[in-house]
Amino acid sequence: MSGVLHRVGLRLAAGLLATLALLVPASGLRAQQVQVQDRAQLLRPPATSTDPYSEDNGVSNGRAVESENDADIGEQEILKRVERYEPFSISVATPFYYTSNVALVRNGEQSDTIFAPAAGITYAPRFTKTLYGSFTLQRQEFYYDKFSALNFGSFDFRAGLSTILPMAHNLILRAEYDYNRLTFTNSFNDFFNNHSIFLSAELPFRFGRAQQVSLGADANVSLDASPSAPQRDEFDFYVGYAVSLTRSLSLGAVGRIYVRDYRAIDRTDVSEVFALTANYRINKYFSAGAATTLAWSRSNKSVFDYDVANIGGALSLTFKF
């Protein structure tokens, strides 16, 4: 009986996606392209940070990281030299999620579990004390348990610069070129690809050694997309909070508001996303994490409205050299 219900649910979801695709005035638009960019965005692992003032590099907020020997050294007055910088990072992650709305639809929501393994490599050369480059290759696959017809892959190549302005409260600025290719599962054959410019500004506020509040804004402007119907420009504003409870355990919360404007069609979406995360660093290389994401999206084309809750976790392995 459960198998019959699963097949009926799959047909309903596939039919609904096909109906949504017909509502978009673009020839050749496949049903899988509808909402797939949002699915990839909500389920991707966090991007590798290239913050030059991370504690892994021996510097925090433009100052050497505090230690138990600070009383012997005296008050810090100048920026200390970073003794070791590791520009290469290789990471493998095995995220898994439960989602309440597998296809991000307005009506007839179906739940499912998703396995989304990801692998990436980043080269972040340091040009000056406050200017860094970043070159990243990343691949992620999305495997759905019941609704395997929705399986897809995502490939990204990103290249850009990041800088920090110590005299402006450590304002962090980033600019990147991003090539995103959404593919059929276990294949490099794409059903959508996009070239875009990503711009970001983030203002951190540190409280002691363990807490930080961040205010930020991002812009992702599409330069070219194929097919053109899903092409969109994206803008978001966010507030984030992070706390390190111990050397190994950290918690985070972030709220974002997205505005997504589609180029080829008369469609604008406004989305609110709230995420809670926990990360436990097992050792230098391994970490385990858990995440809960709640998203509400409203569009001037109400057929694209959706609500979704995702909850899951991940094991990750990272090498820096």
pLDDT band at 34 (very low <50, low <70, confident <90, very high): low
Look at 34-43, 75-84, 170-179, 232-241 and tell me which has the smallest mean pLDDT.
75-84
Domains and CATH numbers, the chain: 2-62+84-320 (2.40.160.40)
**Residue for token pair 């997205």:** 258
Is pLDDT above 90 for 8? no
Give me the pLDDT at residue 86, please. 87
Tell me what the pLDDT averaged over the chain comes to.
Answer: 82
Is pLDDT above 70 for 263? yes
pLDDT band at 33 (very low <50, low <70, confident <90, very high): low
Q: What is the pTM of this model?
A: 0.79
Question: Which residues on adjacent β-strands are paired with residue 236?
Answer: 218, 258
Q: What is the mean pLDDT of residues 43-72?
A: 47
Per-residue model confidence as pLDDT tens digits over 132-183: 999 999 999 999 999 999 999 999 999 999 999 999 999 999 999 999 999 9
Look at 67-76, 123-132, 249-258 and tell me which has the smallest mean pLDDT.
67-76
Is pLDDT above 90 for 56? no
User: Residue 171 has which token pair?
Assistant: 């304002």
Q: What is the mean pLDDT of residues 200-228?
A: 95
Q: Which of 141, 219, 130 is nearest to 178 (CA)?
A: 219
CA dihedral sign of residues 18, 19, 24, 26: positive
**What is the phi/psi pair of residue 137, to 5°?**
-115, 130
Is pLDDT above 60 for 226? yes
Q: How far apart, in whole angstroms, are the C-alpha atoms of residue 245 and residue 122?
A: 28
Give me the pLDDT at residue 120, please. 95
Q: How far apart, in whole angstroms, are the C-alpha atoms of residue 293 and residue 274?
A: 6
How many other CB atoms sit within 10 Å of the CB of residue 52? 21
Q: Which of 319, 242, 317 is nearest to 278 (CA)?
A: 242
